[in-house]
Structure 1
């Protein structure tokens, strides 16, 4: 019987900085492999594939929004901010058509901006987030929109999201301010909460519906209006509660 090779082990005695560096490097490599495997098995049949990017300053809740939509959970406590680019897939059903959303979570720090810009060009939709408790993140939206206009496709779908709306006691940016900014730039708008799930599904499903219409709409069909759809859906929700 052929013997298995003995695995190579790091020495346990007299640890030093070099060993610690090697261990950290191996952990990072293992994590990258695990993420790669997770994505490779995340496969489901679909009719249309679309690339969606989450944009905004660091800390506005992009990763939490993505996890809430993908898994229906909230990332409570502290976690490591996104470094560079990450993505997850989710297939949704829009009137019998399966839409695969390839959702890219981007780092908001300035030092990763060149990496983010490179991914704009083939994006079909952009969800641009700010934190309603952070005025700076809202003020920076205009700079993000400038970059979008420079790097993204002309027909890209854009939606502005005021996230962390559940933190009403700490809210600084008024809903009216978000609505006004969205009107000025002719983009859809809503407030969301990655923690409670408020409007998270609606945001992604509205994007998916719009992208489906862009790709499969017949010549005699009217164009889809994201803002009107959101307003109608919210009206139905309010009406259903009475």
Structure 2
């Protein structure tokens, strides 16, 4: 099934997808142009699920494309960078876009990425959790660089879908 990833440029969407799909991290990751795909077969609750992660560009010029990719998605991750407050504030817009363009039963997770940079944190875990709770969506904090909580976040999203 399809999972859409959205968020501002540079928040780590591509790195999260690569860590989940291939267990790799590229510190020199180039910005996504348009969309990229990662597929992975995961075992969730005893079932084998093939997840196709659609990593969308955060660049403004590609934003209109998101509406074409949302239909049919069963899951979505709205990603922000815990060290950049504005990316968290923009999560409202990304969430609104996903909700407007997707099926009503889509499962959405807010993901605070770059947990390895906690010493530069601009958004607290509590702020992220409260934002998610208020909007009835899932929440996770991850570090694509360290691989921390990445698999768990994807598996939780997948298990909520199924």
Please classify the TM superposition score into its range, dividing by the shorter chain length: over 0.9
Q: Distance in 1 between matches of 2:54 and 2:33?
A: 12
- Specify which of 5, 16, 19 is matched with residue 65 of structure 1: 16
Partner secondary structure for residue 82 of structure 1: coil
From the CA coordinates, give the structure whose radius of gyration is larger. 1
Higher relative contact order (CA 8 A, sep 6+): 2
Q: TM-score, normalised by structure 2?
A: 0.96
Partner secondary structure for residue 111 of structure 2: strand
Higher helix share: 1
Q: Distance in 1 between matches of 2:24 and 2:102?
A: 30
In structure 2, the partner of 1:156 is 106
Runs of 4+ in 1 over 3 A off after TM superposition: none
Tell whether 2:154 aligns with 1:190.
no
Partner secondary structure for residue 196 of structure 1: coil
Task: Kindly state the Cα deviation for residue 135 of structure 1 after the two structures are TM-superposed.
Answer: 0.8
How many residues are treated as equivalent by the alignment? 162
Partner secondary structure for residue 108 of structure 1: coil
Q: Distance in 1 between matches of 2:80 and 2:17?
A: 14
Q: Distance in 2 between matches of 1:161 and 1:81?
A: 19
Q: Which runs of 5+ in 1 are unaligned?
A: 1-49, 213-242
Q: Do the aligned partners of 2:82 and 2:112 also contact (CA within 8 Å) in 1?
A: yes
Higher strand share: 2
Task: Kindly state the Cα deviation for residue 109 of structure 1 after the two structures are TM-superposed.
Answer: 1.1
Q: Which runs of 5+ in 2 are unaligned?
A: none
